[in-house]
Amino acid sequence: MAFVPQLLFFLVLAFAAFIIRSRVLRIRDNIRLGKANPVNDRSGERWNNVLLVAFGQKKMFKKMIPATLHFFIYAGFLIINLEVLEFVIDGLAGTHRIFAPYLGSMYNLLMNFFEFLALAVLLACVVFLIRRNVIKVPRFRSPELTGWPLLDANLILITEIVLMSAIFTMNACDQLLQVHSEHYTATGTLFFSSFLMPLFSNLSQDALHVIERSAWWFHILGILGFAVYVTYSKHLHIFMAFVNTYYARLEPKGQINNMPVVTREVKSMLGIAPADAAPAGEPGRFGAKDINDLTWNQLAAAYSCTECGRCTAECPANLTGKKLSPRKIMMDVRDRMEEVGNSIAKGGKGLQDGKFLLDTYISREEINACTSCNACVEACPVLINPLDIILEMRRYVSMEESGAPAQWNGMFQNIETSFAPWKFPPSDRFKWANE
């Protein structure tokens, strides 16, 4: 019956892999709801962004305290996952600490380093829980951060604390067992968990064994559960941040994307288009009313948002009490994608459900409040651009509905008739020189 735990482990692993695979495919399909937008230029600069901004966390460090705490969790996540590799091999092969004999004294050093990181992660998560729930940092108190987003954030932090505690419990019992059992490979003293040993020292060998095994299973199940959960959560940023920093726009922030469809039309109106430049098929919708009017990169960006709210904390409109929150724009894009994706998967109406990103999720009051100042774009630690999406929605309202605010329509009219946004006669334009 010794193979039972191994079989069980294999089944759990396979099950987790199956769910993760189907979630990844769903997310891919959701992102593919967006318009094609091939990105195949300036790969050097793009990799540079991935290295500095995603891998190196460069923009995180604009705020030192959260950046440092986040760095511990990030480093812990990257490095402790090496230990998970050992867990998986042990689980499948029925071994215990399979790397220990090969690494010798290095193993002790590594395990102590992992324990240090685990403690750092644990403490960072405690501070983050306090920041979010007790100190109530303003950017964590926005209306869009109630309900699921708040629960999501707390769940992750608590899960990480519990997972790290499991490592310490497991290592403490393991060290006690090493004295008596051949199976428990000697690891040498593991500094941090050795402090927990007195808690367990009066227990019988059997009880220790049960606790150690339980902690082991708890930890690996926790990790696998976490991996599944991440695909439903804002914590997908741990993967998508790398994707997004690669595909982020490289043009100056002030430059708005051109609309070639409009260029063709304007050129033909002005009679400067070459005669054979027939428009390539239907022009489609101007601007964005729903997620399928955005590009796939804009949709992928929504999956890389971890709702930190640095954008919203810098937004001049939001700071002065307007409804606009750049973070909410990204959260809305993601929620709408999930809604459409789920509907399509169930054979439902998908995009034709009578709902739209604009109006159902994002109000006109929100998009009209933007000053296009790029503070949100500058603030984002993973190079998300909420401004691009806001401008696409303004294009839809203005060009498809002529529904811009009345004063903007007046401004448009002034430009058309007087060639200036104010209603002055064009003949007065050069008067300043003689005043």
Partner 1 sequence: MNVPTLAEMTAKGESPEIVFWVGCAGSFDDRAKRVTKAFVKILQAVGTKFAVLGPEETCTGDPARRAGNEFLFQMQAMSNITVLNGYQVKKIVTTCPHCFNTLKNEYPELGGTYEVIHHTTFINELIREGKIKMTGTSGFQGRKITYHDSCYLGRANNIYEAPREVLEALDADLVEMKRCKTNGLCCGAGGAQMFKEPEKGNKDINIERAEEAINTGASTIAVACPFCMTMMSDGVKNKEKEGQIVVRDLAELIVERQGL
Q: Would you say 401 and 286 are in contact if contact means Cβ atoms under 8 Å apart?
A: no
Q: How many CB atoms lie within 10 A of CB 299?
A: 23
Shortest CB 146 distance to partner 1, Å: 20
Using rule CB under 8 A, residue 65 touches partner 1: no
Please report, to the nearest 10 degrees, the dihedral formed by the alpha carbons of residues 229, 235, 241, 243 taken in order. Answer: 20
Phi, psi of 277 (to 5 degrees): -85, 70
> Of residues 275-314, which lie at the interface with partner 1 (CB under 8 A)?
286-287, 314
User: Which segment (4-12, 209-217, 300-308, 320-328) binds partner 1 by CB under 8 A?
Assistant: 320-328
Tokens 């409804």 correspond to what residue? 323
Q: Closest Cα partner for 92 from 196, 178, 189, 8?
A: 8
> Of residues 367-426, which lie at the interface with partner 1 (CB under 8 A)?
368-375, 377-378, 391, 393-399, 404-405, 407-408, 410-412, 415-416, 419-422, 424, 426
Spatial CB neighbours of 371, under 8 Å, sequence gap ≥ 6? 316, 317
Nearer to partner 1, 76 or 386 (CB): 386
Nearer to partner 1, 142 or 194 (CB): 142
Shortest CB 382 distance to partner 1, Å: 16
Spatial CB neighbours of 232, under 8 Å, sequence gap ≥ 6? 23
Q: Would you say 200 and 214 are in contact if contact means Cβ atoms under 8 Å apart?
A: no
Shortest CB 340 distance to partner 1, Å: 24
Using rule CB under 8 A, residue 205 touches partner 1: no
Q: Which residues on adjacent β-strands are paired with residue 358?
A: 362
DSSP string covering 34-51: SBP----S-HHHHHHHII
Shortest CB 276 distance to partner 1, Å: 18
The residue from 103, 266, 278, 345 that contacts partner 1 (CB under 8 A) is 266
User: How far is it between the farthest Cα atoms of the chain?
Assistant: 101
Using rule CB under 8 A, residue 58 touches partner 1: no
Nearer to partner 1, 204 or 320 (CB): 320
Shortest CB 270 distance to partner 1, Å: 6
User: Which segment (167-175, 183-191, 248-256, 274-282) binds partner 1 by CB under 8 A?
Assistant: 248-256
Shortest CB 408 distance to partner 1, Å: 5
**C-alpha dihedral sign at 258, 260, 262, 267:** positive
E strand or H helix that includes residue 377: helix 375-379
Nearer to partner 1, 67 or 373 (CB): 373
Tokens 């305290």 correspond to what residue? 65
Shortest CB 403 distance to partner 1, Å: 9
Interacting residues with partner 1 (CB under 8 A)? 62, 251-256, 258-259, 262-263, 265-267, 269-270, 272, 286-287, 314, 316-317, 319-324, 365, 368-375, 377-378, 391, 393-399, 404-405, 407-408, 410-412, 415-416, 419-422, 424, 426-430, 432-435
